[in-house]
Homo-oligomer: A and B are copies of this chain.
């Protein structure tokens, strides 16, 4: 069988999993279940001899995360396409198909990066069934067997139940239903949850877009034609902004003929909210799911998650509660109200709370930093610089900085003078001095930065040169 091109959609925000998932660090990059992030689990699931290197579509602010997390799995040949602005799934899938247009017979598998699939073998088996149908010219949708009357998903209505080992004809796509309709479909035996995973030949995808969403072609072709190579990323051109923001379901699947569906009995979940995460998580006999430094005493049907190793979360006598503790934010919610977390994030945003969107650890192309302590006139940060990582040549107008290297070795230039600063050594950066730091070593370098000054904001930075072409 020909190898499949994975097309991984990695631009979403996942606000309903706040505080673990935020605009600055959305849920696909978090290890919500197990050690890997959802994106990494998706990459791994779609790697191996049956697959080409993946095409990843993401936003500019996540490009380094996308390549880093892939590299951490040993995947260095993923191609990352940068979407200049979010345009929903149809333009992204079309851009991927156009990128692969030289191989119209090749299969492309479109998959969200933020879902979970517990049973990898069952997924592989479903993929085999789908590949046979796709190879014969069908557009294949994968759908999970409903286990409850879920009103948060779209449904695939089958013309007849799928025979074992085969795809079934899709009679129609059903949008998110009301509770009555959802209950009927959950029991019908002819409905599957639309998992948002699609398999088709590149040529069939292009033909479907031409037939059903022709208006997307010019913007996506233009964006790809004007795409710029940027440190190994492919940044789509400005024509992208002309594309309508529309989902692949609306734009193509609901209109196309001859769609087939493959049932996915593989423990699929979109992890769309904390109750979905609770459903998918390993639980004890009382329905309690623990993660990190969390302890439950006499709790039932609860999710207790601490994301900070030094922060002990203790639940006592809880029932139907989700509690998530992070360094800068703690959510305690009734599990059945979990869908409302998105509204709560909007409320926090309106109130100007930085926790609504920012993440306590800020990821940068050279590594990351986090604030340990912020006061009116000083700030303490922990900074990690990757091997080979180089910060921009910069200066500040309102602060001076002390750096204490606590692990690894730093090469520092201050006003033209270069110095190697090794573990337990420190260096002082006076206000106004042009300085640059890099990690010339083979191991991550950690330093503690102590800033003092009347203004400590990140925007007090004049970048004189930047290896990552940031402005």
Interface residues of A (CB under 8 A from B): 295, 297-298, 304, 306, 310-319, 321, 323, 325, 327-334, 336-337, 340-341, 344, 347-348, 353, 355, 372-375, 377-378, 380, 382, 400, 402, 404, 406-407, 423-424, 426, 428, 446, 448, 450, 452
Contact = CB atoms under 8 A, between A and B. Distances in A.
Contacts of A448: 373, 378, 380, 448, 450
A76 to B, nearest CB: 29
Contact of A337 (B316, B331, B402, B424): B316
B333 A450 contact: no
Given A329-B314, A330-B325, A452-B406, A380 B377 contact: no
A333 B318 contact: yes
A314 B336 contact: no
Contacts of A334: 316-319
A380 B449 CA distance: 10
Contacts of A313: 329-330, 332
Per CB-CB distance, the 3 closest pairs between chain A and chain B, nearest first, are A317-B337, A317-B334, A378-B406
A332 B337 contact: no
A295 B19 CA distance: 14
22 contacts: A313-B329, A314-B348, A316-B337, A317-B333, A317-B336, A318-B321, A323-B323, A325-B330, A332-B332, A372-B372, A372-B373, A373-B382, A373-B448, A375-B446, A377-B406, A377-B407, A378-B406, A378-B446, A400-B424, A402-B426, A406-B452, A423-B452
Contact of A314 (B311, B332, B404): B332
A21 to B, nearest CB: 14
A321 B316 CA distance: 10
Contacts of A372: 372-373, 380
A410 to B, nearest CB: 14
A315 to B, nearest CB: 5
A305 to B, nearest CB: 11
Contacts of A404: 402, 404, 450, 452
Contacts of A317: 333-334, 336-337, 340
A319, A328, A404, A423 interface centre (most CB from chain B within 10 Å) = A404
Give the number of times this chain occurs in the complex, counting copies: 2
A384 to B, nearest CB: 11
Nearest to A323: B332
A407 B377 CA distance: 8
Contacts of A446: 375, 378
A347 B314 CA distance: 11
B348 A312 contact: yes
A325 B373 CA distance: 17
Contacts of A337: 298, 316-317
Given A310-B328, A316-B340, A426-B450, 9 more contacts: A295-B347, A297-B340, A315-B333, A316-B344, A323-B330, A327-B327, A372-B380, A400-B424, A402-B402
A344 B314 contact: yes
Contact of A428 (B310, B336, B341, B426): B426
A408 to B, nearest CB: 11
A30 to B, nearest CB: 18
A312 B353 contact: yes
A425 to B, nearest CB: 8
A295 B310 CA distance: 24
A402 B426 CA distance: 8
Given A330-B313, A382-B380, A424 B452 contact: yes
A95 B43 CA distance: 72
A328 B310 CA distance: 6
Contact of A333 (B310, B316, B355, B406): B316
A65 B424 CA distance: 34
